Chain A
């Protein structure tokens, strides 16, 4: 790891004579102020350690000159730096996105997997799939040693196109792995729903709208037919099942309906959803990408709506991609998604296996052959993880990206995603696709904290297993 990725905390080793008693000079902590759009509070951040504080606007001068405030931060600076170091550089993979087939029965306009692969690709045979999981079991026995079960997420293309093999693998390895499946839902029948729910398998369903017309605008089969009605019928069947989430891909076509989509999802009693901006890895996605500032306006209204619905009904629907940004602020190490951090989770917290056994840092790279790091069936997991292709992704840090390197919220965002940066912005060390959306999410999250409402946006019991490592209550 180069120094570029390390914090400025603990500068005792610096050759400068400064004792570091002032903010922003010599060996003092580097802090940045940001306007969060709150009537009473302004945020003061130490970006390298992901430290944040909210100060009453008329107390800012006092905070900057008061040694007590700095002292309280300095006391924790080294441990926060170490925490970020571990989170960013010292984790080992414990999850796999597994594509059991190259084929998909849908032809969504924004898919990041090339059309020729989805249309004419291969299924992985059942015995090959079993063999693949056996290889992964052996690998994880050596790397995930704390009693946890590694995660296997069957992903696509459409994994249900090869459901016989997938279900056989889930049955055989049910005690070994924690399984999930991301599916378009079109091939999921009652028997399939029963199989998955009886085994507690995480289910991710895709639904892009509050009406059939909106939801099916970009998600159609090869003949042009949408399946949103079917997906809604599955969601209704899952009403007493908590281990599922709904993924809504947000494009120019549906962004203005986001508050309505939140209403619809909440009325369907969906416990957790993701409102993900369309991925821009392929031209189809880029064509549908909304302008960030326009999307942000609707996205924040959708967050407002989720809060209003909670106030009205007492029932929470977590918008997971925002919840993760909020968690990255209040509890960086408790985050559940690893897109919003640099390096991202691709190739270091999880990796992807294609239907031919090829290894990629993340599913997002499956259509980009130069990011293949090896092949599972050739026993190349370790080689892949240290291959140049993977290293390019796991070495992508915001400190080397402009303007991220000087952005105050760089560790609440991470400038995702590297595949998009590579394909859309021309190089992996360029910014991700949704900069302004992240700016607005972080500002919103800090307003939520200023108003003491963070629990209303987070999963119930999100703080189990966490401890309070710092609390500043007075200047």
Chain B
């Protein structure tokens, strides 16, 4: 049964640790 509405949002502390499109630095490396 399909829902009438789907809407959610997850939130977390923005650390600013995001990089650009060149490389992913794994979070687990921490």
What is the interface of chain A, defined by CB distance below 8 A to chain B?
A: 40-41, 51-56, 59, 62-63, 69, 76, 80, 83, 86-87, 90-95, 97, 146, 148-149, 151, 153, 155, 178, 180-182, 200, 202, 204, 242-243, 245, 247, 272, 274, 276, 320-321, 330-339, 344-346, 348-350, 362-364, 449-450, 463, 465-475
Smallest Cβ-Cβ distance to A341: which chain B residue = B18
**How many interface residues does B have (CB within 8 Å)?**
29
Q: Are A349's CB and B18's CB within 8 A? A: yes
A149 — which chain B residues lie within 8 A by C-beta? 30
Smallest Cβ-Cβ distance to B2: which chain A residue = A40
Can you list 8 A-B contacts with CB-CB less than 8 angstroms, sorted by A residue number?
A56-B4, A56-B5, A63-B5, A83-B14, A91-B15, A153-B19, A204-B24, A470-B7
A95 — which chain B residues lie within 8 A by C-beta? 17, 19, 25
Q: Are B5's CB and A472's CB within 8 A? A: yes
Q: In the complex, A1→B12 CA distance in Å?
A: 23
- Closest 9 CB pairs between A and B? A91-B16, A53-B7, A204-B23, A331-B10, A338-B18, A469-B11, A472-B7, A466-B10, A54-B6
Q: In the complex, A202→B27 CA distance in Å?
A: 10
Q: In the complex, A349→B20 CA distance in Å?
A: 9
Q: Are A469's CB and B10's CB within 8 A? A: yes
Given the contacts A178-B29, A469-B10, A469-B11, A155 and B22 also touching, CB distance less than 8 Å: yes
Smallest Cβ-Cβ distance to A95: which chain B residue = B19
Given the contacts A93-B16, A243-B29, A52 and B23 also touching, CB distance less than 8 Å: no
**Which of the residues A243, A274, A337, A466 comes within 8 Å of B18, measured between beta carbons?**
A337
Taking the nearest CB of chain A, how far is it from the CB of B26, in angstroms? Answer: 4
A76 — which chain B residues lie within 8 A by C-beta? 9
Q: Are B22's CB and A55's CB within 8 A? A: no
Q: In the complex, A95→B6 CA distance in Å?
A: 36
Given the contacts A247-B22, A333-B14, A336-B19, A55 and B2 also touching, CB distance less than 8 Å: no
B26 — which chain A residues lie within 8 A by C-beta? 202, 242-243
A465 — which chain B residues lie within 8 A by C-beta? 12-13
Q: In the complex, A15→B28 CA distance in Å?
A: 49
Given the contacts A95-B17, A469-B11, A59 and B4 also touching, CB distance less than 8 Å: yes
B13 — which chain A residues lie within 8 A by C-beta? 333, 465
A449 — which chain B residues lie within 8 A by C-beta? 6
Q: In the complex, A316→B29 CA distance in Å?
A: 19
Q: Are B5's CB and A53's CB within 8 A? A: yes
Q: Are A349's CB and B23's CB within 8 A? A: no
B15 — which chain A residues lie within 8 A by C-beta? 91, 94, 146, 148
**Which of the residues A93, A245, A349, A473 comes within 8 Å of B3, measured between beta carbons?**
A473
